[in-house]
Amino acid sequence: MERLDNTHEVVKLSSLLDDKPESAIGELRPNVERLPFTIRIVHDESDLEKAVGLRKAAYGRHIPELGTKMIAEDSDRAMGTTVLLAEARFDRAPLGTIRLQTNDRAPLAVEHSVTLPDWCKSGRLAEATRLSVANGGAGRMVKTMLFKALFLLCEQQGVDWLIITARSPIDREYEAMQFADIFEDRQFIPMAHVGGLPHRVMAGRVGIARQRWKEARHPLYRFVFETRHPDIDLGIKGSTLTPDTVRFDEHALGRKSGGATTIDDRCDPQHY
């Protein structure tokens, strides 16, 4: 039997079934993987402090002048905003965080720097910001799982388009996840909410991500869409912040499409 510890990024359920009766195995056999960390919604000021600490460290490595200014923001506590936090299962150490804001109650952060095209007015938008991951070997896995949790969050909130801003070379990672430019191809625009640094403004259509990733034979397709990760918990437990969410059913991924997708240079939804 494989033992879960800090040296393992993923433990497959099949390694834990050796001593289970056949009836139990039949129920558990679908792709289920446990992680050495959990991902949940920030629900109090202590959680938010962990997220802000991660932001300071992560931004400080790449944009020191911005990292030193990182504090909890009003938007962290605003209605329509959800902050996710990844923590080590061993000691609850913070490993990663990302924030999702919808445009239901206020303009998105990106809208302080650009005017979004008219098609954005016809659907529910969300923007992912403040992605921060602790330095270390598990960073890539934590980032991948944060984006899976982000996708699940977009699904449960009925988001039509997910918008991100990305500096170089991180923008190529979003291209690989089927995001594409809203404005001119690979145009970098100064963003007020990230210290005025040039970022690409990119978007993905949530409703057809599953289909697009499958057609593209994306290497993470099964991991994101066909594997259940019980360590992602998007339920709300006594929150003193105000995330606008409901508990999700990850099994629903097999019954409907979702996620981010490619768009043309003008990000015109008529091309879908």
Range with lowest mean pLDDT among 6-10, 43-47, 106-110, 196-200: 6-10
Note the pLDDT tens digit of each residue in 216-248. Answer: 999 999 999 999 999 999 986 644 465 444 333
Q: pLDDT over 70 for what percent of the chain?
A: 75
Note the pLDDT tens digit of each residue in 105-153. Answer: 899 999 999 999 988 877 899 999 999 999 887 889 999 999 999 999 9
The reported pLDDT for the residue numbered 186 is 87
Is the pLDDT assigned to residue 9 strictly greater than 90? no
The reported pLDDT for the residue numbered 132 is 95
User: Where would I find the beta strands (DSSP E) of the chain?
Assistant: 11-12, 33-34, 37-41, 81-88, 94-102, 125-133, 161-166, 180-181, 189-191, 197-205, 232-233
Q: Could you give the CA distance from residue 77 to residue 248 in angstroms, rounded to a whole number?
A: 21
Mean pLDDT, rounded, of the chain: 80
pTM: 0.78
Out of 3.40.50.300, 3.40.30.10, 3.40.50.720, 3.40.630.30, select the CATH number for domain 35-271: 3.40.630.30
Across the strands, what pairs with 208?
A: none
Give the residue extent of every domain in the chain.
1-34, 35-271
Farthest CA pair distance, the chain? 59
Which residues touch 15 (CB under 8 Å, ≥6 apart)? 1, 2
The answer to whether the beta carbons of residues 155 and 125 sit under 8 Å apart is no
**Segment 167-176 mean pLDDT:** 92
Task: Name the residue with tokens 């919808």.
Answer: 102
The reported pLDDT for the residue numbered 136 is 82
Provide long-range contacts, Cβ within 8 A and 24+ apart, for 4-13: 4/34, 4/36, 4/89, 5/36, 5/90, 6/36, 6/88, 6/90, 8/36, 9/35, 9/36, 9/138, 9/141, 10/34, 10/35, 10/141, 11/35, 11/36
**Segment 53-68 mean pLDDT:** 88
Note the pLDDT tens digit of each residue in 37-57. Answer: 999 999 999 999 999 999 999
Is the pLDDT assigned to residue 198 strictly greater than 60? yes
The reported pLDDT for the residue numbered 247 is 35
